[in-house]
Chain A
């Protein structure tokens, strides 16, 4: 059977599949559906310095093969997450990746410092790409200098490897990737959602109360693949790939584009069992396309057409 193991900074994964941040809460709800030990890792919902309520509702809207969301980083705050959510995840033998967000550099630094010390947290996912908050979030992820500065500051206080989650809402994704790589990022996580809108014909206004939201789902898969491929051509940094993955075939496609592991987001809403299903069918899928390991799959995909 194909070897599914993947070794990345801070993350020894039994398989390359993990739920994406924001689509899985802190794991509790999905633990009622299956044993979370099957997962390669768990990326938990973004933590901020203080509790946040998030945006007004409606916060989601469907789009062709996708959806928009504007949750607005609702979370109970880093202290509460450490106190009540992380202990629950201790009972599983799965590395946790903590997604960190903030409005200021100081907030990112404070949250990282606190959460990276927790033993269940094996890596940080630096969220510089949330398109749905007025302050912070995406503004850190669209200017290379700002992103680099933040990465540097967070690296100074983090006990764990830092994966920077890139925004696709930029002209040059490679420039962004290089900037955070030079600033010391241990890996990249890409892509976050693309800013989009939908309007309600009956009410004659945007469906989402925040007006704009982040587009996710299979609709953005080709963009994610293109961006991962471009960054892979320029950098050797580990990449956790995401953007519309719904099947083992999709996962293999991301590995070929240059991702080292993948995260599944929106598909969890349609099928709460999607992660274990993809993990189960991955060995057979790899074999069908002639790969004996995740590593081999990665190597084959690296070269451009000759």
Chain B
């Protein structure tokens, strides 16, 4: 199976505060069938940037052979990415990792709970799930200018937007509006949010998608690991890039003091 490709930038534009949506085209898209997996993007020319950037798949169009990723400009790497123009080539390794299990989910009421740039993978996931399930999205952002994809999620099901400062949607945290009236949840966002969500929904089956600074992105370097909750687990850890980034909520330790 194809594992890498120089993909062509179709579009690359801001969709919210410091937040860009990039569309890439190439045959590699045919391998991107599982929501929650990520693309490992080469940054910069030659060997100027030695670490790739893992970015989750936000949407896939198999007919057009295009994939969308959404990223926030934070440092030099994402700044370089934001300057890519249509027609430019970007080297992509992937899709990597294990995503959200969706095949057997049917007839369920599912919550998609996202925070900030943790929202993107939930969109492709939601599209897959909405075919056979009832989907509710609860999306948290820092402020009004940071909100994106509200209309797209509304097409999938009921969508609630929250902002930290109350400048748009409800004021507060995603956990403020969560009730246990669901069969299943999937969540992706900052670690603090994941921790709060999994604690509030401790009696509900759920999956978390973790983010971490990665090295190789293929499971060889042990840069991105997390501990397992089961002290008798035979390894005691999981590799986020290879075993994850998606895990059953109860499998991994999200918070360590």
Chain A: interface secondary structure?
loop
Say which one of A61-69, A235-243, A252-260 lies at the interface with B: A61-69
- 7 A-B contacts, Cβ less than 8 Å apart? A23-B220, A28-B220, A51-B236, A67-B51, A69-B223, A71-B223, A269-B217
* Chain B nearest Cβ from A218, distance in angstroms: 5
Question: By the criterion CB–CB under 8 Å, are B47 and A65 in contact?
Answer: yes
Taking Cβ atoms with an 8 Å cutoff, the residues of A that contact B are 22-25, 28-30, 32-33, 45, 51, 53-54, 56-67, 69, 71, 74, 76, 202, 207, 217-218, 246, 266-270, 272-273
| Interface: B176 (CB within 8 A) | no
| Interface: B152 (CB within 8 A) | no
Taking Cβ atoms with an 8 Å cutoff, the residues of B that contact A are 3-4, 42, 47-52, 74, 76-77, 93, 212-227, 235-237, 242, 256
Question: By the criterion CB–CB under 8 Å, are A22 and B47 in contact?
Answer: no
Contacts A218-B50, A270-B42 given: A76-B216 contact, CB under 8 Å?
A: no
Question: By the criterion CB–CB under 8 Å, are B51 and A269 in contact?
Answer: yes
* Chain B nearest Cβ from A248, distance in angstroms: 14
* Chain A nearest Cβ from B222, distance in angstroms: 5
Question: By the criterion CB–CB under 8 Å, are A269 and B213 in contact?
Answer: no
* Chain A nearest Cβ from B245, distance in angstroms: 13
Instruction: Give A63 to B44 CA distance when docked, in angstroms.
Output: 13
* Chain B nearest Cβ from A4, distance in angstroms: 23
Contacts A25-B220, A57-B226 given: A270-B215 contact, CB under 8 Å?
A: no
Contacts A218-B47, A267-B47 given: A53-B221 contact, CB under 8 Å?
A: no
Question: By the criterion CB–CB under 8 Å, are A60 and B213 in contact?
Answer: yes
Chain B: interface secondary structure?
loop
Question: By the criterion CB–CB under 8 Å, are B50 and A62 in contact?
Answer: yes
* Chain B nearest Cβ from A54, distance in angstroms: 6
Partner of A56, one of B4, B220, B236, B256: B256
A62-B76, A269-B221 are known; give 8 further A-B pairs, CB within 8 A: A23-B221, A25-B222, A45-B222, A59-B213, A59-B224, A218-B47, A267-B47, A269-B217
Partner of A22, one of B4, B221, B226: B221
Question: By the criterion CB–CB under 8 Å, are A64 and B48 in contact?
Answer: yes
B1 (CB) vs chain A CBs: closest residue? A32
Question: By the criterion CB–CB under 8 Å, are A53 and B237 in contact?
Answer: yes
Instruction: Give A25 to B220 CA distance when docked, in angstroms.
Output: 5
A62 (CB) vs chain B CBs: closest residue? B51
* Chain A nearest Cβ from B170, distance in angstroms: 26
Can you list the 7 inter-chain pairs with the closest CB atoms, starting with the nearest? A25-B220, A29-B220, A58-B213, A60-B223, A269-B216, A217-B50, A62-B51
Contacts A29-B216, A29-B242, A57-B213 given: A65-B3 contact, CB under 8 Å?
A: no
Contacts A25-B220, A29-B216, A268-B220 given: A57-B225 contact, CB under 8 Å?
A: yes
Question: By the criterion CB–CB under 8 Å, are B51 and A60 in contact?
Answer: yes
Instruction: Give A278 to B152 CA distance when docked, in angstroms.
Output: 46
Contacts of B4 in A (CB 8 A): 272-273
Contacts of B222 in A (CB 8 A): 25, 45, 54, 59, 71, 74
Contacts of A30 in B (CB 8 A): 218, 220
Partner of B212, one of A53, A57, A273: A57
Contacts of A22 in B (CB 8 A): 221
